[in-house]
Structure 1
Amino acid sequence: MRIREKDKDKGAIKVYQTSEHRITAATLALVGGFLDVYTFLCRGYVFANAQTGNIVLMAASLATLNFNMVLTYFTPIISFVVGIIICEIIRSKIKNRADIKSHWRQIIIAIEIIALAAVAFIPIGSGNFAANIIVSFVCAMQMEAFRKVQGITYVSTMCTGNLRSATAYIYTWKKTGDKKILENGLRYFKVILWFVIGAAAGALLVPLIGEKAVLVAAALLVGILLLMRKEYIS
């Protein structure tokens, strides 16, 4: 599906993929922040999205010859890579198939929902290894499938790239005074804010409901799946 959005300055209608809508981006950022806190607090201090953090921790574990922890951090990294590959395979196989009614991104979201629902029933402790692999796989698919918000490239699962882009846009706006550039910079800051809100929600809910907290992220993705089946003017 596509969305049509009114241009405030020119009054024209711009057409975007529904996957680029600001509500989609905000919800995905919520999920990204939530899942990073979920795996960190609930699944043995492993990052679901921030693979840089996992690489640093893996290197530190390697330096101290703690090979069990090396494996703990290495497997989510590999799972993340596999998730990106699988997402690209699904996209290439389904994107131009007229016989498949669902958009390929809807299939990605459906896979995410099923996978996260399964994680909710994997016990803490003995199941952390499997849970981290699954969640990292899910996060990779989300990052690869959803790359734009209202025409600009962003990342829904981490903040570093968004912070760089936001800062660059604000700097350029200060030099040029172009309001469109300012709007783009603010879009990045909004995505970061939603990521922070998702992380904060995870920090509150994980201690209360443990492994079942991941169902909150799954429920948010159900909302995205429903949103992607609509077309409207905003």
Structure 2
Amino acid sequence: MQKKFYKVVSVSNNSRLFAILMAFSGGALDVYSHNYFHGLVATQTGNIILMASNLSQYNWQQMLPKIVSIILFTVGFLLGILLKRSNFSHYWRSYTMLPVILSSVIIPLLSQNLHLFKIGLLAFGSGLLMLTFTGTQIEGNPYTIMMTSGNYRKMLNEWYLYLTSRNKTSLQKRNAHNYTIVVLSFVIGACLLAFVSLALKKYSIWIVTFTFLLALFIEIHQAKKTIR
């Protein structure tokens, strides 16, 4: 039986709403992971900095979640490369969103003693998403999902270009607004999760589940348009 392959067209999801949801989810997910597992799952450079701090204090126990996160993030990222090259479905991007969605659903229901397993699940899903949506754009401007450092620099650059330009254009202003929206969404996601967790505790991660689900529906709609 001949195996069926699909010609997958890589189309950037330019939706502002998609960018907002992914940035919000990244900020919220990292705050949750840091609060409950003492590590980050999206911002791996942050893990390296925190590990250096733990090392200086001889805090080996808190280094372990960060090491697990880095390893599983890498595995997820490499798997994403294989899936991207396999051309197995027009909806391959949507499928790669499922691990982090399902992980965020079940994590509050698992035993409290499984911290390393939980952060590993989230890091794996985050690594998969990072590769999947590399090159994603917001109205034609590339940005980094689930993180804000690069987006923050781009925001500053776009505002500088707009404010110092003699012939200001609406496009320049729109670009500056777009990067500002992404950065603010990340910050709001982080702050809101920190606030909500005071009441919902470990179940606060379900906010991330909801926002990722919304992003999934947008991505599925985008995939449908590419095959019409």
TM-score range, shorter chain: 0.7 to 0.9
In 2: Cα distance, 1:82 partner to 1:181 partner: 38
User: What is residue 118 of structure 1 aligned with on the other side?
Assistant: 106
User: What is residue 126 of structure 2 aligned with on the other side?
Assistant: 139
User: What is residue 52 of structure 2 aligned with on the other side?
Assistant: 59
1:229 counterpart SS class = helix
User: By how many angstroms is 1:134 displaced?
Assistant: 1.4
| Correspondent of 2:151 among 150, 157, 162 | 162
| Correspondent of 1:76 among 65, 69, 77 | 69
In 1: Cα distance, 2:85 partner to 2:24 partner: 27
User: By how many angstroms is 1:161 displaced?
Assistant: 0.4
* 1:150 equivalenced with 2:143 (yes/no): no
| Alignment gaps of 5+ in structure 1 | 1-15
| Alignment gaps of 5+ in structure 2 | 1-9
Deviations 1:75-107 (A, max 9, x none): 11122222211122111113xx4xx3x511111
User: What is residue 181 of structure 1 aligned with on the other side?
Assistant: 172
User: By how many angstroms is 1:185 displaced?
Assistant: 1.7
User: By how many angstroms is 1:26 displaced?
Assistant: 0.6
Q: Kindly provide the amino acid, as one letter, of the partner of residue 105 in structure 2.
A: A
User: By how many angstroms is 1:17 displaced?
Assistant: 4.3
2:96 counterpart SS class = helix
Tell whether the 8 Å contact from 1:18 to 1:228 is kept in structure 2 after alignment: no
User: What is residue 8 of structure 1 aligned with on the other side?
Assistant: none
Tell whether the 8 Å contact from 1:123 to 1:211 is kept in structure 2 after alignment: no
TM-score, with normalisation over the residues of structure 1?
A: 0.81
User: What is residue 34 of structure 1 aligned with on the other side?
Assistant: 28
User: What is residue 89 of structure 1 aligned with on the other side?
Assistant: 82
TM-score, with normalisation over the residues of structure 2?
A: 0.82
> Number of paired residues?
210
Change (3 A) 1:19 1:121: farther
Change (3 A) 1:20 1:144: farther
Change (3 A) 1:160 1:103: same
In 1: Cα distance, 2:105 partner to 2:91 partner: 22
Higher strand share: 1
Tell whether the 8 Å contact from 2:162 to 2:173 is kept in structure 1 after alignment: yes
